[in-house]
């Protein structure tokens, strides 16, 4: 074998060897990357971390934020996970919460689903704007004043209730999920939208057929909501007030007195006899008919009861002190019920005290 041939053979072997190293290195690198995109990773030392992805952010910006937060280890792992997941065009803006080790692919898929972090706030039935505002602040969503200010914009309900000066009664009680940092106006808008979807065309048609405006329906429903928490009693309480309306009797609803006192900053948790004469258009002991507007936000059952009251002749009711009420058709029956369930009840309680 000639020296030239030997040299060529050696170069060929060296080329094959180097090629094998390159290929082997590539396979090794690919194996490492493949392994890393499927392995759970947590590069932050806190219990949780949040990553905010702004609207319009591209892959490079998202990659930087995830790496800086310690959610994904490095650029190459991100690129590989993004390619493998096929979510490159689906990444969504929002705030994302991470608390447990996650694989880069799982991270990308989470952002592709738009699984943004939200907190829940439950608004119970029967709250006023002021009470909702205090709840909103106590849950850490923002200041009470910001909620009150947002609820002062009646434009969202103006078409249904042109007489509304704020959104009292129209902020539907429900559980809402909100991203962190959103303004109160966003929650208020969701609450109004929920009311609009609950107060259906069918209910609106019933109101029109019964000669009631939306404002009257919601106001009546708010009285029902404040008077009883028992779903079974909603149609009965509604019947009492509808019967009184029909007979031009005063509503004489204690919750309207409380609302009037609250608006004046005079309510201390109790109603005194002299409070029944407090001069306010919301005081239905002094002024006939419904109060000028809702005194709280009613739920769906109260709205429906206002338009479908029970077919009963009742004009009075009094609390049994157990969450339910006893109803009466005549004043004599009512007075007897008051004596039994109020006067005797509290007299026995005082006597039982040491």
State pLDDT tens for residues 119-152. 899 999 999 999 999 999 999 899 999 999 999 9
Q: What is the pTM of this model?
A: 0.79
Q: Are 297 and 170 in contact (CB under 8 A)?
A: yes
Per-residue pLDDT band at 62 (split at 50, 70, 90): very high
CA proximity to 347, closest of 326, 321, 317, 318:
321
Largest CA distance in the chain: 131
Mean pLDDT computed over 70-75? 92
Mean pLDDT computed over 264-288? 90
Mean pLDDT computed over 296-302? 97
Burial per residue of 34-52, b for 16 or more beta-carbon CB atoms within 10 angstroms, e otherwise: eebbeeebeeeeeeebebb
pLDDT above 50 (res 23)? no
- What is the rounded CA–CA span in Å between residue 89 and residue 112? 8
Per-residue pLDDT band at 34 (split at 50, 70, 90): low
Mean pLDDT computed over 86-93? 91
CA proximity to 40, closest of 83, 87, 101:
101
Phi, psi of 52 (to 5 degrees): -95, 120
> What residues does 96 pair with on adjacent strands?
51
Return the pLDDT at 314.
97
Q: Do the strands 49-53 and 175-179 form a parallel or antiparallel pair, or are they unpaired?
A: unpaired
Return the pLDDT at 8.
44
Q: What is the mean pLDDT of the chain?
A: 88
Q: Are 148 and 133 in contact (CB under 8 A)?
A: yes
Q: Which domains does the chain have, with CATH numbers?
A: 36-116 (3.30.1490.480), 118-198 (3.30.1490), 213-231+243-307 (no CATH)
- What is the rounded CA–CA span in Å between residue 316 and residue 227? 12
Mean pLDDT computed over 285-297? 95
Per-residue pLDDT band at 22 (split at 50, 70, 90): very low
């Amino acid at each position: 074998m000639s020296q030239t041939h030997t040299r060529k053979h050696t170069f060929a072997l060296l080329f094959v060897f180097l090629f094998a190293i390159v290929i082997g290195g590539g396979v090794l690198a690919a194996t490492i990357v493949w392994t890393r995109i499927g392995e759970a990773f947590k590069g932050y030392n806190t219990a949780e971390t949040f990553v905010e992805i702004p609207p319009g952010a591209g892959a490079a910006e998202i990659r930087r934020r995830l790496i800086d937060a310690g959610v994904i280890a490095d650029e190459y792992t991100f690129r590989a996970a993004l390619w493998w997941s096929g979510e490159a065009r689906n990444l969504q803006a929002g705030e994302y919460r991470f608390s447990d080790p996650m694989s880069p692919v799982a991270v990308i898929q989470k952002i592709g689903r738009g699984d943004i972090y939200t907190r829940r706030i439950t608004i119970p039935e029967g709250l006023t704007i002021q009470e909702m505002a205090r709840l909103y602040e106590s849950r850490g969503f923002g200041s009470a004043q910001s909620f009150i200010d947002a609820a002062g914009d009646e434009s969202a309900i103006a078409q249904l209730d042109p007489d509304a000066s704020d959104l009292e009664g129209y902020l539907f009680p429900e559980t809402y999920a909100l991203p962190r940092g959103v303004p109160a106006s966003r929650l208020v808008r969701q609450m109004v939208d929920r009311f609009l979807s609950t107060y259906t065309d069918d209910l609106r048609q019933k109101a029109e057929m019964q000669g009631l405006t939306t404002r009257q329906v919601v106001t009546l429903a708010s009285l029902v909501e404040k008077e009883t928490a028992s779903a079974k009693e909603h149609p009965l309480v509604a019947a009492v007030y509808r019967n009184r309306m029909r007979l031009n009797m005063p509503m004489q609803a204690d919750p309207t007195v409380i609302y009037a006192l609250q608006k004046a900053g005079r309510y201390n948790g109790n109603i005194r006899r002299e409070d029944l004469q407090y001069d306010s258009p919301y005081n239905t002991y002094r002024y006939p008919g419904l109060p000028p507007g809702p005194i709280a936000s009613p739920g769906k059952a109260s709205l429906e009861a206002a338009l479908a009251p029970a077919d009963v002749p009742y004009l009075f009711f009094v609390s049994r002190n157990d969450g339910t009420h006893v109803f009466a058709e005549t004043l004599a029956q009512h007075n007897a019920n008051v004596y039994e369930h109020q006067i005797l009840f509290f007299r026995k309680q005082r006597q039982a005290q040491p």
